[in-house]
Amino acid sequence: MKTRLLRALLAVAIGAAASSAFAGEVQVAVAANFTAPVQAIAADFEKDTGNKVVASFGATGQFYAQIKNGAPFEVFLAADDTTPAKLEKEGMTVPGSRFTYATGALALWSAKDGYVDDKGDVLKKNAFTHIAIANPKAAPYGLAAYQTLDKLGLTDAIKPKVVEGQNISQTQQFVATGNAELGFVALSQIYKDGKITNGSAWLVPADLHEPIKQDAVILNKGKDNPVAKQFEDYLKGPKAAAVIKSFGYQL
Assign residue 218 the CATH number of its domain.
3.40.190.10
The number of domains in the chain is: 2
Indicate whether 164 and 231 sit together in one domain: no
Is residue 12 included in any domain, yes or no?
no
Is residue 58 included in any domain, yes or no?
yes
Indicate whether 96 and 155 sit together in one domain: no
Indicate whether 76 and 193 sit together in one domain: no
Mean pLDDT along residues 202-211: 97
**pLDDT for the residue 22:** 55
Q: Residues 229, 96: contact at Cβ < 8 Å? A: no
Indicate whether 110 and 81 sit together in one domain: no
> Mean pLDDT in the chain?
92
Indicate whether 119 and 142 sit together in one domain: yes
- Whether pLDDT at 21 is above 70: no
Q: Residues 199, 178: contact at Cβ < 8 Å? A: no
Indicate whether 199 and 220 sit together in one domain: no
- Whether pLDDT at 7 is above 60: no
CA distance 213 to 169: 18
> Which helix H or strand E contains 232, and what residues bound it?
helix 226-235
Q: Which domain holds residue 163?
A: 105-208
Q: Residue 12: which pLDDT band, with cuts at 50, 70 and 90?
A: very low
Q: Read off the pTM.
A: 0.83
- Whether pLDDT at 44 is above 60: yes
SS percent in the chain: helix, strand, coil, step 5: 45, 25, 30
**pLDDT for the residue 16:** 39
- The share of the chain scoring above pLDDT 70, in percent, equals 91
Q: Which of these, 60, 133, 140, lies nearest to 103 by C-alpha position?
A: 140
